[in-house]
Chains A and B, each alone.
Chain A
Amino acid sequence: MPGRPTVEKDRGEAQINPTKRTVLEVQNLSINYISEGKPPARAVENVSFTLKEGELIGLVGESGCGKTTLMLSLLRLLPSAGQIVDGKVFFNGKDLTTISEKELNKIRWKEISIVFQGAMNALNPVRTVGDQIAEAITKHMPDFPKDKIQGRVIELLDLVGIAADHKEHYPHQYSGGMRQRAMIAMALACNPQVIIADEPTTALDVMIQAQILELLDNLRKKLGLAIVFVTHDLGVVAEICDKVLVMYGGVTAEYADVDTIYNSARHPYTQELLKAFPDLTKPKKKLSSIPGYPPRLDALPDGCRFAPRCPVAIARCHTEQPMLHKLGDMHIASCHLVEASK
């Protein structure tokens, strides 16, 4: 019965596989936004994660917690106020924070590409979607044979489930779900190894969201893509991710494989987020919310950034920032209480 979740065997396993090659390794990355006359805003602090071939990682956190900032920094696409102040980003062994612009341009779009947040609403309204995809191909691959471009556009549209005859249509003739598919097609234009999708389903309804999740899941199986899926919705990533990074106010709250995050989370923020979720197996249960609001970057608390909202905070939490504690091979949480119970 669909009302009651049933365990489906062949879809349940996460893909964490130690023998797979690491493609992206982010180490202790910190990013500040600098504005004159003000102290730097510490938008991202000491965040690390790794991504292997064919793996799908979920990056989850409330609005303003630094998800987009972190993703843009990986390809050094931050606005000029945003500066990487510490950390490294290794892609196939190369540190993207130090290589030249010229070298980085060989990686942008060709190896790692981003589906930008809200970009589906920024398609040019007076040009056909097919034209815009063709332009993405020529812009990133000037040597691409001209006579093969239209064929490639059709191939890309097909990959994301859009029939070829929609090529000549304008963005307003596309629904929201189709526009998002077109954005994914553009990101795939140069056959990248990694796709970063920043909130690709946030504005879409649940059925279209399910379609996009299915599409991304199929693409990684078919093309061996590694995917970073950015969302504020912890439920969405449970469906397809292998591991999850939960961010709070610019820092890592918890980082673990998907099963650990949903069944043995140790950070109070992760635990509270899970409780805020409607559970259809208990429809009468009142939802729990997390009172208060995320910290403002210009007025960060002295201790743990979550302490002012944390239901189990102790005195120390308000004065001292917690470190990242390793709780297992693939499990990290930044909480003083975790350390105490270790």
Chain B
Amino acid sequence: MSKENFLEVRGLKKYFDAGRPALFSRESRFVHAVDDVSFNLRRSEVIALVGESGCGKSTLSLLLMGLEEPTEGTISFEGRDITHLNDKERKGLRRKIQMIFQDPYESLNPTQTIEEIINEPLLVHGIAPDKSERDERVKKAMEDAGLKPAEVYLYRFPHELSGGQRQRVVIAAALVLEPEILLADEPVSMLDVSIRAEIINLLAELRITRQIAVIFITHDLGSVGFFADRVAVMYLGRIVEIGTMLEVLEKPQHPYTKALLSVIPVPNPRLRRERIILQGETPNPIDVPSGCRFHPRCPVAISTCKHSDPPSITLSKTHQASCLLLVK
């Protein structure tokens, strides 16, 4: 199988019904949460998906998990169309695609021990009916997630662990099914800086030891640096720039990427630099601006940006961005 068609996403859209604006309006309105997204993920590749709050990152990952039904577009995995599956097919696939949800603390049941939490996915999927085999897998997942030695943590409850350790439990519970893709939705945003580095290093190790592909979702471009192969920047439901990590960090082409990069805090006052602080917030995805969806906040927009939606411009074999200013 070619590396290219491991996970392929084409023209993916998710519009949520936002109801009618007024009682007698004919048409209901839609939240354009994900609006025409296409990309490939290769085996054991790490893609960072970056963008402001509300740009559709979590919705995109829920679509990939099959937890939301797409409005349009296709998702295929290992050459097979997985856009619409029945429950049984979906369950089989879930072993291969696992997700770490955005609020890890809420996803840990406080009345279960760590052992029970990590064992649960095996029971749900009826994997390893033999108890000793399950114990073995739980232990391995924990140690791979850095909860070493596993015995120390097995019978503790979530509140008896630190924030970083709890995040490791969440990761272990995802690893125990031995997935091929891990969707990590803001896995470090809530953590202290010192623990953040630890969890990122852990994910970086896993993709080497377990050959796992990772989609790492974050609003902070600064935290993806060394371990992402590629970076996709999302704005209002769409990927506006995608490229290798170095292309995006060192030669960003989209004005939105440039702004996101400029506001990453630099821990040195001597390197204080000009920050491009976009005013306001991401516009409401119910009323997506005309033309280029970024134009109302864009510091370099020209008049044509109001009317024409920029195509994706190829800048190199691996680098694309959607901006009219890049059209030669």
Asked whether, in the complex, the Cβ of B266 is within 8 Å of the Cβ of A3, the reply is: no
Cα(A130)–Cα(B178), bound, Å: 52
Fill in one digit per residue for B204-239: 1 if any A CB lies within 8 Å of its CB, else 0.
Answer: 100000000000000111110110000000000000
Q: How far is the CB of A186 from chain B (nearest CB, A)?
A: 20
Q: How far is the CB of A149 from chain B (nearest CB, A)?
A: 28
* Interface residue from B163, B222, B261, B279 paired with A278 (Cβ < 8 Å): B222
Q: Does B116 contact A (CB under 8 A)?
A: no
Find residues 188-243 in chain A having any chain B CB closer than 8 Å to their own CB. 204-211, 214, 232-236, 238-239
Q: Does A4 contact B (CB under 8 A)?
A: yes
Find residues 258-286 in chain A having any chain B CB closer than 8 Å to their own CB. 258-259, 262-263, 272-274, 276-280, 283-286
Residues of B within 8 Å of A28, CB to CB, are none
Q: Does A303 contact B (CB under 8 A)?
A: no
Q: Are A209 and B222 CB-contacts (below 8 A) given A6-B273, A276-B197, A287-B197?
A: no
* Interface residue from A1, A5, A236 paired with B271 (Cβ < 8 Å): A5
Q: Does A85 contact B (CB under 8 A)?
A: no
Cα(A287)–Cα(B223), bound, Å: 9
Residues of A within 8 Å of B162, CB to CB, are 293
Q: Does A17 contact B (CB under 8 A)?
A: no
Asked whether, in the complex, the Cβ of A278 is within 8 Å of the Cβ of B223, the reply is: yes
Among B245, B263, B275, max chain A CB count under 10 A is at: B263
Asked whether, in the complex, the Cβ of A283 is within 8 Å of the Cβ of B249, the reply is: yes
Cα(A293)–Cα(B160), bound, Å: 13
Asked whether, in the complex, the Cβ of B267 is within 8 Å of the Cβ of A277, the reply is: yes
Residue of B nearest to A309 (CB): B194
Q: Are A280 and B265 CB-contacts (below 8 A) given A3-B249, A176-B53, A259-B270?
A: no
Asked whether, in the complex, the Cβ of A232 is within 8 Å of the Cβ of B271, the reply is: no
Q: How far is the CB of B268 from chain A (nearest CB, A)?
A: 5
Q: Does B269 contact A (CB under 8 A)?
A: yes
Cα(A239)–Cα(B192), bound, Å: 18
Q: Are A276 and B272 CB-contacts (below 8 A) given A176-B53, A234-B267?
A: no
Residue of A nearest to B199 (CB): A289
Residues of A within 8 Å of B54, CB to CB, are 175
* Interface residue from B221, B262, B268 paired with A262 (Cβ < 8 Å): B268
Asked whether, in the complex, the Cβ of A2 is within 8 Å of the Cβ of B252, the reply is: yes
Asked whether, in the complex, the Cβ of B226 is within 8 Å of the Cβ of A62, the reply is: no
Asked whether, in the complex, the Cβ of B281 is within 8 Å of the Cβ of A5, the reply is: no
Asked whether, in the complex, the Cβ of B268 is within 8 Å of the Cβ of A238, the reply is: yes
Residues of B within 8 Å of A276, CB to CB, are 193-194, 196-197
Residue of A nearest to B204 (CB): A286
Residues of A within 8 Å of B220, CB to CB, are 205-206
Residues of B within 8 Å of A263, CB to CB, are 268, 270
Residues of B within 8 Å of A277, CB to CB, are 193, 267
Q: How far is the CB of B207 from chain A (nearest CB, A)?
A: 14
Cα(A156)–Cα(B252), bound, Å: 38
Residues of A within 8 Å of B252, CB to CB, are 2-3
Cα(A63)–Cα(B249), bound, Å: 30
Find residues 259-295 in chain B having any chain A CB closer than 8 Å to their own CB. 259-279, 281
Asked whether, in the complex, the Cβ of A205 is within 8 Å of the Cβ of B219, the reply is: yes
* Interface residue from B53, B261, B265, B274 paired with A238 (Cβ < 8 Å): B265
Q: Does B250 contact A (CB under 8 A)?
A: yes
Residues of B within 8 Å of A5, CB to CB, are 266, 271-273
* Interface residue from A3, A11, A12, A273 paired with B193 (Cβ < 8 Å): A273
Q: How far is the CB of B82 from chain A (nearest CB, A)?
A: 30
Residues of B within 8 Å of A301, CB to CB, are none
Q: Does A312 contact B (CB under 8 A)?
A: no
Cα(A205)–Cα(B278), bound, Å: 12
Rank and list the top 7 A-B pairs by shortest CB-CB distance, nearest first: A235-B265, A287-B197, A205-B219, A289-B198, A289-B197, A210-B263, A283-B225
Q: List 25 A-B contacts (CB under 8 A).
A: A1-B251, A2-B252, A2-B258, A3-B252, A8-B272, A206-B260, A207-B263, A208-B52, A208-B53, A209-B263, A238-B265, A238-B267, A238-B268, A239-B266, A277-B193, A280-B222, A280-B264, A285-B225, A285-B226, A287-B200, A288-B197, A289-B197, A289-B201, A290-B194, A293-B164
Task: Give me 12 other A-B pairs in contact (C-beta within 8 A), A175-B53, A178-B281, A206-B260 excluded.
Answer: A4-B250, A63-B163, A207-B277, A208-B52, A208-B53, A235-B264, A238-B265, A238-B269, A262-B267, A273-B194, A279-B225, A289-B194
List the interface of chain A (C-beta within 8 A of B).
1-8, 11-12, 14, 62-63, 175-178, 204-211, 214, 232-236, 238-239, 258-259, 262-263, 272-274, 276-280, 283-291, 293
